[in-house]
Amino acid sequence: MSRIFPNFPTVEQAPSAGERTTVPPAAEAETMTVWRKSLLFNCKGFTVFDSKGNLRFRVDNYSARSSSGEIVLMDSSGKPLLTIRRKRLSLGENWLIYDGEEALKPRFSVRKHVTLFGSGEIAHVTPCGLRSHPESSYAVEGSYSRKRCAIYDFRRRAVAEVARKEAAPGVALGGDVFRLGVQPDLEPAFAMAVVVILDQMYGS
């Protein structure tokens, strides 16, 4: 059986959807392997490895708390990095991202984007707070269910991408194991938090 997390040196360009530019791969770019499974017995979640196979992020309380609209993204030691909460009483599906286990001041809002015109955008990420800046907004385009989507900044540059992972050339591992590539312009934990929200919105 092939390893779930063989090395990948760079981030590949996401599929085109209209005119846009991409951030060139850099030495600091990070490619992670996301496994839609918790390492804890009888618990759903995510396990994320870096390119060397080291544990990078964990979501172990997925099944226990997702029904209440709260999910915690942790580092390899179990320290809470970001908390994701579903916004109540809002039009459409909207999630908030908080630092650590903060409950009062969200950093970002992620709203499911529904369109009848096939624009390709599936979610929109906007900063929260009175001092938020439009240049801190992001758009997610593509198809999460097909594991082929990307996060774009306000300059239309791809700063992260989700793509299928192959055990060997032409042999995909399946939808529960995929790659998350993050450019130096974006915080890896934030990119993973967006992936967790996309799974809530579009996962099976």
Q: Does 1 reside within a domain?
A: no
- Closest-CA residue to 141 (of 113, 117, 178): 113
Point out the least confidently predicted range of 19-23, 77-81, 100-104, 155-159.
19-23
**The predicted structure's pLDDT at residue 56:** 97
Domain limits for position 137: 28-202
Query: Which residues make Cβ contacts (< 8 Å) with residue 84, sequence separation at least 6?
Result: 70, 71, 72, 73, 95, 96, 97, 98, 193, 196, 197
- Residue predicted with more confidence, 161 or 93: 161
Cα 53 to chain centroid, rounded: 19
Is 165 within the bounds of a domain? yes
197 in helix, strand or coil?
Answer: helix
Does residue 129 belong to any structural domain of this protein?
yes
In a domain, 20, yes or no: no
pLDDT at 114: 77
**Confidence (pLDDT) at 199:** 94
Total domains in the fold of the chain: 1
Q: Quick check: is 141 in a domain?
A: yes
pLDDT tens by residue, 10-51: 444 444 444 454 444 444 899 999 999 887 777 789 999 999
pTM exceeds cut of 0.85: no
46 located within any domain: yes
Report residue 117's pLDDT band, with 50, 70 and 90 as the boundaries.
low
Q: To the nearest whole number, what is the mean pLDDT of the chain?
A: 82
Task: Give pLDDT, residue 38.
Answer: 84
Q: Does residue 100 lie in a domain region?
A: yes
**pLDDT of 103 above 80:** yes
Residue 121 lies in a domain: yes
Length of the chain: 204
For residue 38, the domain's CATH number is 2.40.160.200
